[in-house]
Chains A and B, each alone.
Chain A
Amino acid sequence: MSRDISVNVHHVARVEGHGNIIIDVRNGELKKVELQIVESPRFFEAMLKGRRYAEAPQITARICGICAVGHTTSSLRAIEDALGIEPSEQTVLLRKVALEAEILQSHVLHYYFLVAPDFFDVPSVIPLAATQPEVVKRALRLKRLADDIIGMVAGRHPHPIAMVVNGFTRIPTEAELKELLARIKQALAEDIPPTLELFASLNFPKFERKTDYVALKHPKEYAFYDGIIFSTETGEVRHRDYKNKVREEIVLHSTAKHAKGPFKPYQVGALARFNINSEKLMPKAKEAARQLNLVAPCYNPYYITVAQVVESVHNLENMVFLIEELLRRGLKEENQGLAGWQSDLPKVEKRWGVGAVEVPRGILFHEYRIHETSVVWANCVIPTAQNLANIEDDMRALVPTILDKPKEEITKLLEMLVRAYDPCISCSVHMLKVDFV
């Protein structure tokens, strides 16, 4: 066991953004574990200062090409929290459709395009197009469906157009919703069973480390859009008190700040949500979890991918429910809401609000202070920033157990671990303004 191993993966592939893994083992002893984030800093919170508050969703959507609807939604929730606006039920239903569709597209992209190549021992999904055309076509079909749903409800993906403060600048027609409904039902019937079969057949690495799991929790639904912050270790926190749970730290090896709880690192994302909310899953998603052998609580971070598969079944089922509900009520032209460059944007006096929304990689916080028509201060806490410290703890626990393996295998297991968290590095270097709690 007294080996020297030095792993240096420059720019981990099949993750969103630029990151390096550094491991240094001397005489069988682990000296250094770092997930370096080398993406250039982006300063979104600084950019928001002095911009119109209604523009914040359009600007922050551009933090992330994958979870643009998630950022938009969290931004809208923060502004509405600050302004005391209750959007209509129709607005909330439409937002939920867009948000669940985005979680579906992100999960499909991750488990089919980014994770699956590891199991087929190919560098990317492209060689799979030749050897496993039906797998690739199915993945593309599911992704296209998710993109089309977002396209019809919000205008396009990424960077939604119609989602604005207190409403939509355009609502979909009933015919559009009916067409989507038919395609979603078809996907549930035809594309989900082989997806489940495929992922049930894969052997995920065996590794367990119990940590603190944090996600939104809601009494009536598997929480994405709404709920109270819940930690499996420290219990409930109201959304406006998120700083009692979340703290960002500057680490020199990372342009993304590390966010962790006051006591220790925690995990956010699909597995955290599953561990906290699994009883609230829709029936087919529950059945999928059984088929994939995913049981709460699950402490294996490689199973984040499996939890994503389960969630994507739930997303499809819940979208059927949401769209049928919209059709039953009948779509109504409501007020157009407050677009970013709306004339006569209402002025407000010193307001403050927080938005907490579940996005594909975990809980996302936007916090704004607003005065007159401008954002005067902003803070965004990104899921990947919250997971970074936890990933390093996982690597610290994992490396000593795999030291007897060849270096290539150690490297692959570490890359797969980082990839399992589905890190979104472009997002996590949004950075500006830490409050040292």
Chain B
Amino acid sequence: MESSAKPKVGFFSFTGCEGCQLVVLSMAEKLLKLVGAVEVVNFREASSYKGEDYEIAVVEGSVSSVHEIEELKEIRKKAKILIAFGACAHIGGVNTIRNFDNQFEIKKEVYKDKASHFDSILAQPIDAVVKVDYYVRGCPPSRDGEEFLETVTALLAGKKPFVPNYPVCVECKMKGNVCVFQKEKPIACLGPVTRAGCGALCPSFGNSCIGCRGLVDDPNLNAHEETLKEVGLTTEEILKFYRFMNGMMEVGK
């Protein structure tokens, strides 16, 4: 990337809660520093200015309608670098829960006889449609957006961002947390198979990991299944737990 001009960044949102963009807005002073290094040309949630030229596209949300596929392809054509931002864009996230129900029935239930008027397809991560260069993980993006800043800073410097390939349990142990499986009333946890990088935030607040950063490269699914069964989960429940965020069951992404 040329160092003379500030690289232009566009933020785009597809199906999701727009919480990822909100995390960017919450980064306060750090955000202002980033604004010094790049030029934000498209950020509809915060700005009515719509720039059409950008080198870096930051995309949040999953793809869940035909018109979104078209828009996403347009963005890919214009952007040199495309970042999937947050769990919905990265792994499909919470939107994929509905993928395991009968889509026709869902639509009919909502819109009755008007169902055919509304455009909706299975929810997918954005790399099901376009090539993605970098992923920023988490629901919402981890460590109050720090990981996002690290990713952008690394790619501006031409470096590869660091992506841990060990589970959340490693960070949880380092923090000295009581394992949520060991609580008086145990809580089932996806920490053993989920990619670290969040600082084990959920277990640090006494709750369990829900797998929002996706699975590590080589998760030991069989051992994890045994552990979950030991705290009373049925096979059906285990599938549902994985399908909170990881409905697509993509390993090592």
Residues of A within 8 A of B (CB): 11, 13-17, 39-43, 46-47, 49-52, 55, 58-59, 62-66, 68, 109, 113-114, 117, 123-126, 129, 136, 140-141, 143-144, 147, 151, 154-159, 161-162, 164, 168-170, 250, 252, 255, 336, 339-344, 415, 426-427, 431-434
What B residues does A125 contact at CB under 8 A?
Answer: 46-47
Q: Which of A40, A51, A155 contacts B97 (CB 8 A)?
A: A51
Q: 1/0 per residue B107-149: CB within 8 Å of A? A: 1011110100111100000000000000000011000100000
Q: Is the CB of A16 within 8 A of B45?
A: yes
Please name 13 pairs of A and B residues whose Cβ atoms are closer than 8 Å in the assembled complex, sorted by A.
A42-B64, A46-B98, A46-B101, A62-B94, A140-B28, A155-B202, A250-B112, A252-B117, A336-B206, A341-B208, A343-B186, A343-B232, A343-B233
Given contacts A59-B244, A344-B232, A434-B110, contact A66 B68 (CB under 8 A): no
Q: Which of A13, A62, A68 contacts B50 (CB 8 A)?
A: A13
A170–B204 alpha-carbon span in the complex (Å): 8
Q: 1/0 per residue B222-237: CB within 8 Å of A? A: 0000000001110001
A76–B64 alpha-carbon span in the complex (Å): 28
Within 8 A of A (CB), among B16-74: 16-23, 25-26, 28-29, 31-32, 35, 40, 43-50, 64-65, 67-68
Q: Which of B26, B101, B189, B240 contacts A157 (CB 8 A)?
A: B26
Q: Is the CB of A169 within 8 A of B139?
A: no
Q: Which of A68, A157, A169, A426 contacts B207 (CB 8 A)?
A: A169
Given contacts A123-B47, A162-B207, A169-B206, contact A155 B201 (CB under 8 A): yes
Q: Is the CB of B205 within 8 A of A65?
A: no
Q: Is the CB of A123 within 8 A of B48?
A: yes
A340–B205 alpha-carbon span in the complex (Å): 13
Q: Quick check: is B14 within 8 A (CB to CB) of the other chain?
A: yes
Q: Is the CB of B65 within 8 A of A40?
A: yes
Q: How far is the CB of B102 from chain A (nearest CB, A)?
A: 10
Closest CB pairs A-B (n = 5): A65-B19, A124-B47, A169-B206, A13-B48, A123-B49
Q: Is the CB of A170 within 8 A of B205?
A: yes
Q: Quick check: is B159 within 8 A (CB to CB) of the other chain?
A: no
What A residues does B46 contact at CB under 8 A?
Answer: 14, 113-114, 124-126
Residues of B within 8 A of A (CB): 14-23, 25-26, 28-29, 31-32, 35, 40, 43-50, 64-65, 67-68, 93-95, 97-98, 101, 106-107, 109-112, 114, 117-120, 139-140, 144, 180, 183-189, 201-202, 204-208, 210, 231-233, 237, 240-241, 244
A42–B94 alpha-carbon span in the complex (Å): 10
Q: Is the CB of A40 within 8 A of B244?
A: no
Q: Which of A39, A113, A129 contacts B25 (CB 8 A)?
A: A113
A46–B108 alpha-carbon span in the complex (Å): 11
Q: How far is the CB of A127 from chain B (nearest CB, A)?
A: 9
Q: Is the CB of B139 within 8 A of A161?
A: no
Q: How far is the CB of A410 from chain B (nearest CB, A)?
A: 16
Q: How far is the CB of A366 from chain B (nearest CB, A)?
A: 16
Nearest A residue to B64 by beta-carbon distance? A40
Q: How far is the CB of B190 from chain A (nearest CB, A)?
A: 9
Q: Is the CB of B28 within 8 A of A143?
A: yes
Nearest A residue to B241 by beta-carbon distance? A341
Q: How far is the CB of B176 from chain A (nearest CB, A)?
A: 14
Of the listed residues B40, B207, B208, B244, the one surrounded by the most CB atoms of chain A closer than 10 A to its CB is: B207
Q: Is the CB of B109 within 8 A of A158?
A: no
What A residues does B210 contact at CB under 8 A?
Answer: 58, 340-341
Nearest A residue to B44 by beta-carbon distance? A13
Q: Is the CB of B205 within 8 A of A169?
A: yes
Q: How far is the CB of A37 from chain B (nearest CB, A)?
A: 11
A129–B94 alpha-carbon span in the complex (Å): 35
What B residues does A113 contact at CB under 8 A?
Answer: 25, 46
Q: How far is the CB of B111 from chain A (nearest CB, A)?
A: 6
What A residues does B18 contact at CB under 8 A?
Answer: 16-17, 64-66, 426
What B residues does A344 contact at CB under 8 A?
Answer: 185, 232
Q: Is the CB of B28 within 8 A of A144?
A: yes
